[in-house]
């Protein structure tokens, strides 16, 4: 028990006997079964597996946008699964950056406006929000696209803006769901380069779901899921 606590304290993410079951039409469908995993701080990990294996569900649980049926999720020592909805929302706004496959930018806001969104929840002045948004845009290499709307950007640029939005609050952990899944090879390489930079230079712990072995090869380690079960050894 004491050993588990030590491991959890040292880990960025610690999953303990995690299960997630959905109910559909009265049927219980197990999606994740008894997942235990520790992800050290500063790690870049790729979650792989076939469709329906539970990758995205696991990512959602780590990001605090879903709750486990049993077991616990600890992120930087905080038992995320025990937080109230309100506390969980607050925790997400400060501690997690989420990168979606389809970018999910708000179309009526400019790039800078999109990046400012998470900062709206903090006690910052308009000027401070703008400064931080521009800094984040600079990090992803789009300083000159601040006033562009998503429709005026390419897919790769949109994903960069989405990454800037994910890092603007300086979260401890970044979770990415197929971040290159909707991009051409060149743009995908650029995004993966950027994620490596964020991991290497800014020390962000990154958990990335991907189907793409080339994308997974950029991670420090790979974990494989199959039918909701975490395989012991990477193939």
Partner 1 sequence: MKWMPFILRHLQRNWIRSASTASAIAVCIFLFCTLQTFVASLRGSLSQGTARLVTRNSVSRFVSLPYAYGERIAAVPGVERVAAVNYFGGMRNVNNPDSEFENYAIDGEKFLAMYPEYMLSDAEKKAFLGDQHGCIIGRALAEQFHWKNGDAIQLTSNIYRTGPFDFVVSAIYQTDQVRYPGTDDAALFFHHKYLDEATGRKAGVRNYRVQIADPRQAGVISHAIDDLFENSDTQTHTETEAQYSASVGVLSGNLLLLLNGIGLAVMFTILLVTANTMSMAVRERHTEIGVLKTLGFSARLVLCLILAEGALLGVFGAAIGLALGRFLINLLPALPVIGDLVQLFPRMNVPPAIAAAGIIIGLSLGLAAGLFPSVFAYRARITELLRRV
Which stretches of the chain bind partner 1, using CB under 8 A? 60, 63, 65-66, 85-86, 89-94, 98, 100, 102, 104, 106-109, 113, 117-118, 120-121, 126, 165
Nearer to partner 1, 8 or 198 (CB): 198
Distance spanning both ends of the chain, measured CA to CA:
30
Cα–Cα distance for residue pair 118/121, rounded to 1 Å? 6
Nearer to partner 1, 126 or 214 (CB): 126
Phi, psi of 35 (to 5 degrees): -90, 125
95, 175 contact by CB (below 8 A) = no
Nearer to partner 1, 8 or 97 (CB): 97
Q: What is the DSSP string of 23-42?
A: EETTEEEEEEEEEEEEEETT
* Dihedral sign computed on CA atoms, order 75, 163, 215, 59: positive
- The least CB distance from residue 9 to partner 1, in Å, is 25
Nearer to partner 1, 7 or 146 (CB): 146
Nearer to partner 1, 107 or 235 (CB): 107
132, 208 contact by CB (below 8 A) = no
- The least CB distance from residue 85 to partner 1, in Å, is 6
Cα–Cα distance for residue pair 117/104, rounded to 1 Å? 13
- The least CB distance from residue 7 to partner 1, in Å, is 28
- The least CB distance from residue 214 to partner 1, in Å, is 24
- The least CB distance from residue 178 to partner 1, in Å, is 12
């Amino acid at each position: 028990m004491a050993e588990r606590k030590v491991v959890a304290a040292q880990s960025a993410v610690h999953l303990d006997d995690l299960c997630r079951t959905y109910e559909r039409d009265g049927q219980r469908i197990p999606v994740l079964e008894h997942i235990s995993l520790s992800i050290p701080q500063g790690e870049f990990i790729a979650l792989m597996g076939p469709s329906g294996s539970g990758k995205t569900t696991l990512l959602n649980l780590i990001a605090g946008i879903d709750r486990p049926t049993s077991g616990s999720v600890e992120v930087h020592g905080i038992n995320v699964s025990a937080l109230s909805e309100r506390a969980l929302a607050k925790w997400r706004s400060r501690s997690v950056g989420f990168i979606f496959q389809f970018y999910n930018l708000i179309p009526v806001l400019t790039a800078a406006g999109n990046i400012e969104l998470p900062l709206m929840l903090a006690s910052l002045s308009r000027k401070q929000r703008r400064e931080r948004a521009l800094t984040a845009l600079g990090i992803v290499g789009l300083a000159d696209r601040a006033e562009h709307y998503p429709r005026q950007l390419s897919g790769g640029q949109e994903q960069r803006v989405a990454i800037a939005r994910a890092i603007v609050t300086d979260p401890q952990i970044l979770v990415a769901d197929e971040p290159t899944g909707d991009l051409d090879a060149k743009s995908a390489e650029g995004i993966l380069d950027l994620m490596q930079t964020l991991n290497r230079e800014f020390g962000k712990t990154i958990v990335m779901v991907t189907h793409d072995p080339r994308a997974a090869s950029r991670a420090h380690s790979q974990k494989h899921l199959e039918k909701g079960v975490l395989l012991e050894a990477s193939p």
